[in-house]
Amino acid sequence: MLIFVLNAGSSSLKYQLIDIKSKELKASGLVERIGIDGILKHEIGENKKLTFETSIPTHKEAIELVLRILTNDETKVINKIEEIKAIGHRVVHGGEHFKESVLVDDDVIRKIEELIPLAPLHNPANILGVKICKELMPKVPNVVTFDTAFHQTMPIENFLYAVPYADYTEHHLRKYGFHGTSHYYVSNEAIKLLNKKDSKIIVCHLGNGSSVCAVRDGKSISTSMGLTPLEGLVMGTRSGDIDAGVIPYLMEKKGLNHTQILDYLNKKSGILGISGVSSDLREVIKSANDGDNRSKIAITMLCDRIKKYLCSYAGLMHGVDAICFTAGIGENSDLIREKVCEGLEFMGIEIDKEKNSKRDKGNREVNTKNSNTKIFIIPTNEEFVIATDTYNLIKK
Ligand code: AMP
């Protein structure tokens, strides 16, 4: 059975066509620069790569183009669109309404729209993707999977901010957390590797956006991102944790308005802001190796912030059975994994430098034999979770 997985952003659209029974990835791709000019990078299976540059004025033309390419003679992987039996959509914010994936109906659309003030950059594009699919493929069921849903198990003391309680009840002010689909997938893989359900796992999702999650017995109990994805780790362009007093101070000193200060903290800070080199960690590592001091400081700040969360979550759970690294940095950078684990031997966390430095695919264990805590590298697969949830919901 073929499931189409869609992740619609403000000017981009990621997709995968997955055969859920055989777990085969039939095709995948990314449409970028929607409304500007338009470029589509399409992959058939895991090898054949194609690029199309054409005018793509709106998301509707983007989805139409992808559907044409999936069925066109030269590029086809399916004979007709009707072979797609369901569509799974990534939606960033599900607020407190959604604790799991759901089939789309008018009430679900209304609730996602109500949550736009909490995710103004993401939810409008996500819901637009759903509406266009309903228009183009009216007979096909749509399912939505939320980045926030996995974290809905956090206990109240871990999701409240220490501000007047009425702002939680009246204005929904609380930590929601993000990357939930990835934290769920990776922790679930770790549970299988540990072969125990009553487990204490810390997942480090380290990409351009990054977050850490404490997962106890398969449930998220705390995570580093907050009301928005700005809180927590030092990220590609986001500051992560800062003193809230920084905001009025900078607004006054630099004459910034509320949009400009958010832009400063979301797009100009983090690794890019400290190093002044790039938000791409590969370039920052290269420049640190060439002797650039600010790049070295950025890398140390990134690793120390992760370490701070690791230790606090180990304390919160009274121990840790496994630390998992995932996403672009977590899966690929032996340097960052090594620096994060460095000095934690006193807690029984010991990375095997040789195993850690080997490049490989798939899930792998990189701790020493003596380490009390397992250290896993687990490539994330959010699309597969969305496809599986979609299949399970339509089967019902
Ligand atoms: P993601 O958002 O998951 O795609 O991750 C993107 C981040 O992963 C970027 O900062 C990349 O520089 C980083 N990345 C990818 N490969 C490597 C690598 N081999 N070493 C260090 N960072 C990497």
Whether residue 97 sits in one domain with residue 226: no
**Helices within 105-179 (DSSP H only):** 106-114, 123-136, 156-159, 166-171
User: In the prediction, which pLDDT does 274 show?
Assistant: 98
Whether residue 364 sits in one domain with residue 249: yes
Asked if the structure places residue 151 within a domain, the reply is no
Asked if the structure places residue 54 within a domain, the reply is yes
pLDDT 10s digits, 298-354: 999 999 999 999 999 999 999 999 999 999 999 999 999 999 999 999 999 999 999
Pick from 331, 367, 372: nearest CA to 352: 367
Asked if the structure places residue 389 within a domain, the reply is no
Residue 333 CB less than 6 A away from ligand 1: yes
The answer on pLDDT for 47 being more than 90 is no
C-alpha distances (whole Å) from 67 to each of 7, 62, 128, 130, 155 are 15, 9, 17, 15, 43
Pairing of strands 102-103, 142-146: antiparallel
Asked if the structure places residue 291 within a domain, the reply is yes
Whether residue 88 sits in one domain with residue 202: no
pLDDT 10s digits, 363-380: 999 999 999 999 999 999
Asked if the structure places residue 388 within a domain, the reply is no
pTM across the whole model: 0.95
**What is the C-alpha to C-alpha distance for residues 359 and 352, in angstroms, rounded to an integer?**
14
- Report which residue type is found at 359: R
Asked if the structure places residue 395 within a domain, the reply is no
Question: With pLDDT > 70 as the criterion, what percentage of the chain qualifies?
Answer: 100
> Is 382 annotated as contributing to ligand binding?
yes
Mean pLDDT of 64-73: 94
> Is 332 annotated as contributing to ligand binding?
yes
Q: Which of 19, 106, 107, 147 is catalytic?
A: 147
- Ligand 1 center–CA 124 separation, angstroms: 27
Task: Say whether 106 is catalytic.
Answer: no
Asked if the structure places residue 157 within a domain, the reply is no
Residue 329 CB less than 6 A away from ligand 1: yes
Whether residue 79 sits in one domain with residue 201: no
Whether residue 206 sits in one domain with residue 71: no
Ramachandran angles phi, psi of 215, nearest 5°: -120, 110
CA nearest ligand 1 atom 9, residue: 280
In terms of residue numbers, what domain contains 307?
A: 196-377
Whether residue 352 sits in one domain with residue 257: yes
**What is the C-alpha to C-alpha distance for residues 171 and 189, in angstroms, rounded to an integer?**
36
Mean pLDDT of 218-225: 98
Asked if the structure places residue 123 within a domain, the reply is yes
Work out how many domains the chain is built from and give that number. 2
pLDDT, mean over the chain? 96
Whether residue 354 sits in one domain with residue 211: yes
Whether residue 18 sits in one domain with residue 106: yes
User: In the prediction, which pLDDT does 46 show?
Assistant: 78
Residue 207 CB less than 6 A away from ligand 1: yes
Ramachandran angles phi, psi of 73, nearest 5°: -50, -50
> Is 329 annotated as contributing to ligand binding?
yes
Token pair 């690929």 is found at 332
**Residue pair 211/205 in contact by the 8 Å Cβ criterion:** yes
Whether residue 322 sits in one domain with residue 223: yes
Pocket test for ligand 1, best of 186, 329, 333 (most atoms within 8 A of CB): 329
The CATH number that applies at residue 19 is 3.30.420.40
